[in-house]
Structure 1
């Protein structure tokens, strides 16, 4: 690569900002409603400490998902391969990449933890968006209470991680300072995310508040439990019908190429490369076994 070509190569921060503008412009041209979650907008709102965003997170009207993806395909974007299991862990977004772009774009059509049907949920979310100037365009982003809900649900997927604990603490302080808990509670009820947001929200509500918290769905419970290597496969096997278990077990032992490509689109798919990745996968799983066992023991005790 020449010096001149390096100078024209997009850096990640530039790519993320321009990616917001690209998606917004495309959506406007197609008449599709879209707003942007997490990322630079949440930093501007004070919902997050300054940090580098590595991708673009856009939330699109679920009824227009395929139309939006088709528009991106026409501009050279391609869908990233995904692991084939969508029963235990239902899809909530489609990730697209471009060979000349330094970041991916995640097109969300639902959000984990929000159990309301996607089409109805989007209407509730859209009603809580506002406009901000970013990347040279007027972009739709969540109102503050909705921004808190998105970020808290995202962090609650892996609450044991120190980074997620720090983010939840930051969001809790922000919510107390801005007295957003009542609006956050209303929004959680409107999107059927009370069960998922409970660990974050119950400590913020006044002690006089009486609320019956619903049980978390299996989809959300699976997602929260699947933070160790192999936990996804284990949950899929345990919850499958007996006649499906051998097929799923075989697929876990010898996964299709999409599993490796979902983590790295440039993964080496030659025979030696796949063997190395199989070996590394098994090493990660064996190291995680003690934590997996402890996690499932806690789950059984809680039940």
Structure 2
């Protein structure tokens, strides 16, 4: 990532970003819920650490409008090409040249397999508030935030840090949550169709769970868990396999080649040099080769 100048720390920037997001929602009537980092820290769902971004869930019915409002306030998309995703796109990342953090605006959260609007409405129904940078910010309940924290942690199956965060949520569910908080956790997972994904936590609290995800989505989720740290190589492989024969050459070329205009960067006006473009391609090819080799070994 290109460096960005800032007049405040990353921690301060995240708090101000959450306050900004809440104020935009309040001024326009767009429902927003701050999630993950700062919220997880205050609910003690993980060890406190400074996140690189501020995450917000936005009412799906007005998601595009909210993104346009962020753009009007100086936040813009980083230049990067669209790549396939096993689970589909779930958020849009915004940056500002004079801020050190990103804003991730979510229309859905990976691991919820119910309708996006149904999930958001359920989270909204039992929302609470937190004061952030002297602004009241809407947040999911502690039980609902535990579902989000667990979904995020369980998705990264090979990360020691995320494994530790998963254990933190499990410990709280077993030993710290009230019966009301635990019931909230169960109900949000039920409505969001995340019971199968979080089945280990259901078993640890002695609560029965339903297999609420069909076999195809189970395979996609499991493959994504095993490869999410590897980048997009496996997603491209999946797209190539799924494409009809007459489309496979185009998909293969798209997977392998990235044009200069598509090289990831913060400044859309600055075209990468030929050398920078080739350096990025070589890095991607090396990473992709390693990812596909690891994927092949895991499938043996």
Pair 1:186 & 2:187 matched: yes
**Larger RCO: 1 or 2 (CA < 8 Å, sep 6+):** 2
What CA distance in whole angstroms lies between the structure 2 residues aligned with 1:248 and 1:119? 32
Output one character per residue of 1:24-74: Cα deviation in whole Å (capped at 9) or x when no partner. Answer: 111111111111001212211111111011111011101111211121111
TM-score (norm 2): 0.87
* Alignment-derived partner of residue 143 in structure 2: 145
What CA distance in whole angstroms lies between the structure 2 residues aligned with 1:104 and 1:112? 19
Equivalent residues in 2 for 1:282-293 (5 A)?
282-293=285-296
Offset at residue 88 of structure 1 (A) = 3.9
What CA distance in whole angstroms lies between the structure 1 residues aligned with 2:50 and 2:58? 23
Larger mean Cα displacement after TM superposition, 223-232 or 57-66 = 223-232
8 Å CA contact 1:89, 1:222 repeated in 2:
no
* Alignment-derived partner of residue 254 in structure 2: 251
Equivalent residues in 2 for 1:33-112 (5 A)?
33-86=31-84, 88-112=86-110
Larger mean Cα displacement after TM superposition, 179-188 or 11-20 = 179-188
What CA distance in whole angstroms lies between the structure 2 residues aligned with 1:219 and 1:290? 19
SS class of match (2:204): coil
* Alignment-derived partner of residue 283 in structure 2: 280
Q: In structure 2, do the counterparts of structure 1 residues 247 and 88 end up closer, same or farther at CA, with 3 Å as the change threshold?
A: farther
Output one character per residue of 1:203-261: Cα deviation in whole Å (capped at 9) or x when no partner. Answer: 3132xx54442346155345324322422222222233333221111111103457641
Equivalent residues in 2 for 1:81-230 (5 A)?
81-86=79-84, 88-179=86-177, 180-198=181-199, 200-206=200-206, 209-215=207-213, 217=217, 219-227=220-228, 228-229=230-231, 230=233
What CA distance in whole angstroms lies between the structure 1 residues aligned with 2:173 and 2:277? 47
Q: In structure 2, do the counterparts of structure 1 residues 88 and 165 end up closer, same or farther at CA, with 3 Å as the change threshold?
A: closer
* Alignment-derived partner of residue 11 in structure 1: 9
Larger mean Cα displacement after TM superposition, 75-84 or 138-147 = 75-84
Unaligned runs of 5+ in 1: 1-5, 298-303
Paired residues in the alignment total 286
Pair 1:296 & 2:299 matched: yes
SS class of match (1:152): helix
Cα RMSD between the aligned structures?
2.3
TM-score (norm 1): 0.86
Q: In structure 2, do the counterparts of structure 1 residues 205 and 258 end up closer, same or farther at CA, with 3 Å as the change threshold?
A: farther
Output one character per residue of 1:147-195: Cα deviation in whole Å (capped at 9) or x when no partner. Answer: 1110111111111211111111111111111245443222111111122
